Structure 1
């Protein structure tokens, strides 16, 4: 639906089973950011309070000041749901920016993300679409910021995706 909530509708559809639960998805992400202010202050350039104000929305049509932000919101999504967030950005007919974001921390005995969500971002329209791609498909490299904010509990997780990232990079050279 063209109501400005498309990014959070992707989350609600994938994690909550119903895109109409986007308000709940917004609350989950805002709570994750608020509960871990010390970590997200390095990611949310406008500040944690501004991010929470932007993310929180009671529902219905919203303006661009409440849209999902690519880099800022992908980290709390990955962290809360222990998932790999694979972003495929499209701008001017080219794939850019594309990145993979992993959780920055893990609970004891968690050795990898439990699932993957693929999100297509049509940059010209600032529109997000959830994609269903084949398991094990090539994925873009990890976001550089992940390496700067990760905790010791997830060091080495990049190795899990090394083959798929290498395949992505190989395919990029063919284009």
Structure 2
């Protein structure tokens, strides 16, 4: 189509230009000569606001969203699928599972499926006959196959009965806590939220740990996605204190032999006026350069590492009896330990 003389001479928006543009996309203000869209008519008080291309696109998109929401649900689902494929092109290759033609009748439980299991059912949807999630059935007790056994402190090695290797997605420290107190490691996001809530409500209790970096700690712990980077890792020993305080529990933290030899017993700072002794205990270990936490199951009455000295200066009277409760077990740790206990805070996951 030949360009009309008006558009060719003045780059003005004639009807033919609008029609051609409508066939392809939208017409942006930046495509019109500034002389025309800045031209003041009359006193200029009614001049239209010139939006950027991005703002125009956003405005146009939101008008479509409003229109789609008012349409039939089938149209909404169809548009949603189109948007999902545009946002996640890697999902275009997903296919329905093939039909399982070898099954006979309904069968028992999942054995009678008329199709092969999907990848989600194989990997993410595993379950036992009791209905427990895979996170609750991941304990291992075959110690001869424990790959991290010799990386843990010598003092505790003979007391290990089992281990749980949680998912290594950057949330592993919070997964260990969730497995103990929140019905499974997949509820790690609950632990993050409750820890943030504890810091918001009782910030002054933890000033001795975080100092002026309390807000930065809240930002780091806050995470609602899936896999995260180091900027959202659990920080030990610091983050273990608000966790112990919220869940009213004792946390035994074990570092590695050698350079990562830090181990400590973490107690609540204040349990709200109650003098009851601890009812729940959690043992976790960090694997150093692997940047990964695991949960441990230990023998009853195992030795425990020392309580960091700063805790005694800030702990309320209602929890000082907890330290006395563990005194004999900390003495056993000291008498058999061959590594030096450190209590400095290190950022790891």
Task: State the TM-score, normalized to the length of structure 2.
Answer: 0.47
CA deviations 1:71-128 (Å, max 9, x no partner) are 1101011111111110000154x77101001111123343222211001011222211
Larger strand proportion of the pair: 1
Do the aligned partners of 1:103 and 1:113 also contact (CA within 8 Å) in 2?
no
- Specify which of 319, 323, 326 is matched with residue 154 of structure 1: 319
CA deviations 1:9-38 (Å, max 9, x no partner) are 001111012111111110011111111111
Query: Residue 50 of structure 1: SS of its match in structure 2?
Result: helix
Query: Residue 90 of structure 1: SS of its match in structure 2?
Result: coil
Q: 1:82 to 1:135 in 2, by over 3 A?
A: same
Query: Residue 159 of structure 1: SS of its match in structure 2?
Result: helix
Residues of 2 paired with 1:142 and 1:6: CA distance?
23
Q: 1:142 to 1:22 in 2, by over 3 A?
A: same
Does residue 4 of the first structure (1) align with residue 170 of the second (2)?
Answer: yes
Do the aligned partners of 1:91 and 1:124 also contact (CA within 8 Å) in 2?
no
Residues of 2 paired with 1:109 and 1:37: CA distance?
20
Shift in Å, 1:173: 5.0
**Unmatched segments (≥5 aa) in structure 1:** none
**Unmatched segments (≥5 aa) in structure 2:** 1-166, 340-349
Q: How does 1:106-125 map to 2 (within 5 A)?
A: 106-125=271-290
Residues of 1 paired with 2:267 and 2:234: CA distance?
18
Runs of 4+ in 1 over 3 A off after TM superposition: none
Does residue 67 of the first structure (1) align with residue 240 of the second (2)?
Answer: no
Counterpart of 1:26 in structure 2 is 192
Residues of 1 paired with 2:278 and 2:221: CA distance?
24
CA deviations 1:111-152 (Å, max 9, x no partner) are 222211001011222211111112211100111221122012
Residues of 2 paired with 1:30 and 1:114: CA distance?
23
Q: How does 1:20-99 map to 2 (within 5 A)?
A: 20-45=186-211, 47-92=213-258, 96-99=261-264
Do the aligned partners of 1:34 and 1:48 also contact (CA within 8 Å) in 2?
no
Q: Does 1 or 2 have the higher relative contact order (CA < 8 Å, sep 6+)?
A: 1
Shift in Å, 1:46: 5.6
Do the aligned partners of 2:260 and 2:288 also contact (CA within 8 Å) in 1?
no
Alignment RMSD, CA only?
1.8
Q: Please say which structure displays the higher CA radius of gyration.
A: 2
Residues of 2 paired with 1:67 and 1:3: CA distance?
10
Shift in Å, 1:61: 0.9
Structure 1 range deviating more: 136-145 or 103-112: 103-112
Corresponding pairs, count: 173
